[in-house]
Amino acid sequence: MIGRLNHVAIAVPDLDAAADQYRDTLGADVGPPQAEPDHGVTVVFITLPNTKVELLHPLGENSPINAFLEKNPAGGIHHMCYEVDDIIAARDKLKASGARVLGDGTPKIGAHGKPVLFLHPKDFTGTLVELEQA
């Protein structure tokens, strides 16, 4: 069902410093900050030859990233994103197998302008999983 790894998301306490580190220290192709108010985050995508890294920073006091950074003040890996061909079919198959889809199960539009869903980390060895329709 899952396809290629779309990105690994890292929550960061300082978006500019993290972007600079990837650009200046690692020589990566770092995109501009992109506000995603529907998700409560500002993101920066780092493009690699085989995938992307997404830097996540809270956007507003109600950001879901705030709680993560309170527990992990230095930041850390927040989620893995995999591509699927049909997000509704993937959702239905996962729910039928007992996996929990976060929220009401309706896909939202993600940072790439495509439908996304998140799966409960307790169902996937402690890892928050995002599915993005390819």
Per the CB < 8 A criterion, the answer to whether 112 and 7 are in contact is: no
Q: Work out the burial of residue 102: count CB atoms within 10 Å of its CB; fewer than 13 is exposed, 13-18 middle, 19 or more buried.
A: middle
Q: E strand or H helix at 95, and its extent?
A: helix 87-96
Task: Spot the catalytic one: 36, 54, 61, 130.
Answer: 130
> Does the active-site annotation cover 130?
yes
Distance CA 109, CA 31 (A): 19
Which residues are part of the catalytic machinery? Answer: 130
